[in-house]
């Protein structure tokens, strides 16, 4: 519960909203714009992970969204794929091998 109310996690909460409402809900309208919004949201979430390493909410998000993130960003341009891979590997080191597919 603390992860949901602690002010340190505000960027995670905002990123979570942007990821789902501003990007995922509109993925069929403009994939490029959607990926840019998702990248920004994931970067914000990654910043929270840097401030509070190994927080449960970040781990749960990574577990739930890994496949979705990989599938959406497979179609991205090479630089964006690489940045997302690095962000997600930093947030979820245990699944680094899965995100490596985005670096190819």
- pLDDT tens-digit map of 41-60: 999 999 999 999 989 999 99
Task: Out of 3-12, 80-89, 92-101, pick the least confident.
Answer: 3-12
- What is the model's pLDDT at position 79? 95
d(CA 75, CA 22) in angstroms, rounded, equals: 19
What confidence tens digit (pLDDT) does each residue in 61-75 have?
A: 999 999 999 999 999
What are the residue ranges spanned by the domains of the chain? 2-103
Q: Which two tokens stand for residue 6?
A: 């602690």
- What is the model's pLDDT at position 1? 66
pLDDT confidence band for 86 (50 / 70 / 90): very high
pLDDT confidence band for 38 (50 / 70 / 90): very high
Return the number of other C-beta atoms located less than 10 Å from residue 56's C-beta: 10
Mean pLDDT of the chain: 93
The whole-number average pLDDT for the span 21-33 is: 91
């Amino acid at each position: 519960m603390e992860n949901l109310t602690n002010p340190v996690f505000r960027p995670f909460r905002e990123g979570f909203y942007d990821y789902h409402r501003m990007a995922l809900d509109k993925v069929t309208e403009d994939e490029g714009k959607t990926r840019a919004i998702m990248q920004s949201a994931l970067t914000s979430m990654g910043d929270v992970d840097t401030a509070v390493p190994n927080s449960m909410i970040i781990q749960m998000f990574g577990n739930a969204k890994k496949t979705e993130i990989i599938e959406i960003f497979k179609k991205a341009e090479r630089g964006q794929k690489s940045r997302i891979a690095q962000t997600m590997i930093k947030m979820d080191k245990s699944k680094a091998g899965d995100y490596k597919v985005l670096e190819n």
